[in-house]
C-alpha cells in the first residue's frame, strides 16, 4: 500500500513536467507556437504539416492525426515504449533511453507508400530536379536511387535515399515524402570522422563541394530531428563529429543538445550562417 501511494505521488509530480521540455529531450521541437500552445510534427509518424498540439496552460498533448492525447507520462510511454516506472525514471532523473521504437500507430494501408522497384538514377525529370538544387547527376548517384512507388492506387517516381531500416526518403519536384519504416541513413567506411546533416540535399551539397568527402568521412543523414537520441549513441566510435544542421529554431536546439551530450561534436553552421540550410547556401553559390 505504501509503495502504491509513493508511485501515485510520483506520478502526480511527474505530470507537472513540461511536455515541451520532454519533447526537446527527445529531439522534437515546435514548428510554431504562441503563449497558449505549441504545434509539432507528430513524433509517431512522418508528416509535413504539424498536427501534434501541446496546450501550455493544461500541459496536455493531442495528436489530431490519430485522435489521441494525454499527459506527459502517457506521451513518453508511447514514444519510448516504456513502462510507467521507466518513464518516471526518465522524467525525474534525466536518463535518456538510446533505443528507437517505430511508430506505435499503424498506417492506413490506403495511405501507405508501396515501393515497387528502384534502379540507378536516370530519369531526365529527376536529373533536372537535382541540378536545380545545385547537385550533379554523378554526385546524386553516389547516395540516391530512382525509386518507383505506388500511393493511393497511383504510380509515382522520385529521388530516393534508403535508410538503415529499409525505408526510403522520397523527393521530387512536387512531393516530399517517405516510406515506412522511418530511420536515419548511415554510410560507414571505417573512418574516425563523422559528418551529420539533417536532410539528403544538405549531404549531397557537401559532397558536391568536396569530391572526396565520402572517402574521408563516415556520413549520417538524420532524415528527421526525431532521431537525435538514436544518433547520440552512434557518435561513440568517432573522434570528431561535424554538425551541419538547419539554421532554424529546431536545428539550433538540436545542435545544442548534441553538443551538450557529446563533446566531440562541432557546430559547422557558420559555413551557411545567412541561409536556412547547407543546400540553400550551396545553390546560392552556384548561381
Q: Are 160 and 144 in contact (CB under 8 A)?
A: yes
DSSP secondary structure of the chain: -HHHHHHHHHHHHHTTS-HHHHHHHTT---SEE-SSEEEE--TTS--SS--EEEETTTTEEEETTTTEEE-HHHHHHHHHT--HHHHHHHHHH----------SSPPPGGG--EEEEEESS--HHHHHHHHHTT--HHHHHHH-EEEEEEETTEEEEEEEEE-TTS-EEEE-SS-EEEPSSP--EEE--S-SEEEEESSHHHHHHHHHH-TTHHHHSEEEE-SSGGGHHHHHHHTTT-SEEEEE--SSHHHHHHHHHHHHH-TTEEE-GGGGTTSSSHHHHHHHHH-
Which residue's entry shows cell 533505443?
A: 99
Query: What pLDDT score does 5 carry?
Result: 42
First to last CA, the chain: 71
Query: What pLDDT score does 140 carry?
Result: 97
Q: How many CB atoms lie within 10 A of CB 153?
A: 6
Q: Strand 154-162 and strand 168-171: pairing? A: antiparallel
- Length of the chain (residues): 287
Instruction: Write out the residue limits of the CATH 3.40.1360.10 domain(s) in the chain.
Output: 185-286
The topology (CATH level 3) of 185-286 is Dna Topoisomerase Vi A Subunit; Chain: A, domain 2 (3.40.1360)
Contacts of residue 138, defined as CB under 8 A and 6 or more positions apart, other chains included, come to none
In degrees, to the nearest 5, what angle opens at C-alpha 235 toward C-alphas 261 and 100? 85
Query: What pLDDT score does 186 carry?
Result: 94
Q: What is the pLDDT along the chain (287 residues), one digit of tens a residue?
A: 444 444 444 677 778 888 888 887 777 778 788 888 888 888 887 666 788 999 988 899 998 877 788 888 888 888 877 788 877 877 766 543 333 233 333 444 445 889 999 999 999 999 999 999 999 999 999 999 999 998 888 899 999 999 999 999 999 988 888 888 888 999 998 899 999 999 999 999 999 999 999 999 999 999 988 788 788 889 999 999 999 999 988 888 889 989 998 899 999 999 999 999 999 999 999 87
pTM across the whole model: 0.65
Query: What pLDDT score does 107 carry?
Result: 41
- What's the burial of 182, exposed, middle or buried (CB within 10 Å: 0-12/13-18/19+)? buried
- CA–CA distance, 74 with 94 (Å, rounded to integer): 17
Q: Which three cell numbers stand for residue 191?
A: 573512418
Q: Which three cell numbers stand for residue 210?
A: 568536396
CATH code for the structural domain at 2-93: 3.90.580.10
Query: What pLDDT score does 112 carry?
Result: 80
Instruction: Write out the residue limits of the CATH 3.90.580.10 domain(s) in the chain.
Output: 2-93
Amino acid at each position: 500500500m505504501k509503495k502504491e501511494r509513493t508511485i501515485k505521488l510520483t506520478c502526480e509530480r511527474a505530470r507537472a513536467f513540461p511536455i515541451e521540455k520532454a519533447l526537446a529531450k527527445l529531439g522534437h521541437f515546435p514548428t510554431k507556437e504562441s503563449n497558449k500552445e505549441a504545434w509539432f510534427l507528430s513524433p509517431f509518424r512522418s508528416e509535413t504539416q504539424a498536427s501534434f498540439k501541446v496546450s501550455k496552460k493544461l500541459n496536455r498533448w493531442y495528436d489530431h492525426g490519430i485522435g489521441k492525447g494525454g499527459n506527459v507520462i502517457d506521451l513518453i510511454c508511447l514514444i519510448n515504449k516504456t513502462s510507467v516506472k521507466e518513464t518516471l525514471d526518465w522524467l525525474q532523473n534525466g536518463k535518456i533511453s538510446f533505443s528507437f521504437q517505430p511508430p506505435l500507430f499503424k498506417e492506413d494501408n490506403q495511405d501507405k507508400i508501396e515501393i515497387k522497384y528502384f534502379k540507378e538514377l536516370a530519369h531526365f525529370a529527376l536529373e533536372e530536379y537535382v541540378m536545380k538544387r545545385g547537385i550533379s547527376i554523378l554526385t546524386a548517384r553516389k547516395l540516391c536511387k530512382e525509386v518507383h512507388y505506388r500511393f493511393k492506387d497511383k504510380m509515382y517516381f522520385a529521388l530516393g535515399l534508403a535508410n538503415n531500416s529499409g525505408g526510403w526518403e522520397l523527393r521530387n519536384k512536387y512531393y516530399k515524402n517517405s516510406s515506412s519504416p522511418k530511420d536515419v541513413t548511415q554510410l560507414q567506411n571505417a573512418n574516425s570522422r563523422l559528418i551529420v546533416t539533417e536532410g539528403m540535399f544538405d549531404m549531397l551539397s557537401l559532397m558536391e563541394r568536396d569530391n572526396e568527402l565520402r572517402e574521408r568521412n563516415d556520413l549520417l543523414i538524420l532524415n528527421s530531428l526525431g532521431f537525435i537520441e538514436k544518433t547520440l549513441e552512434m557518435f561513440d566510435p568517432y573522434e570528431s563529429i561535424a554538425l551541419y544542421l538547419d539554421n532554424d529554431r529546431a536545428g539550433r536546439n538540436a545542435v545544442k543538445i548534441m553538443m551538450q551530450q557529446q563533446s566531440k561534436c562541432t557546430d559547422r553552421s557558420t559555413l551557411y550562417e545567412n541561409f536556412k540550410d547547407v543546400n540553400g547556401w550551396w545553390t546560392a553559390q552556384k548561381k
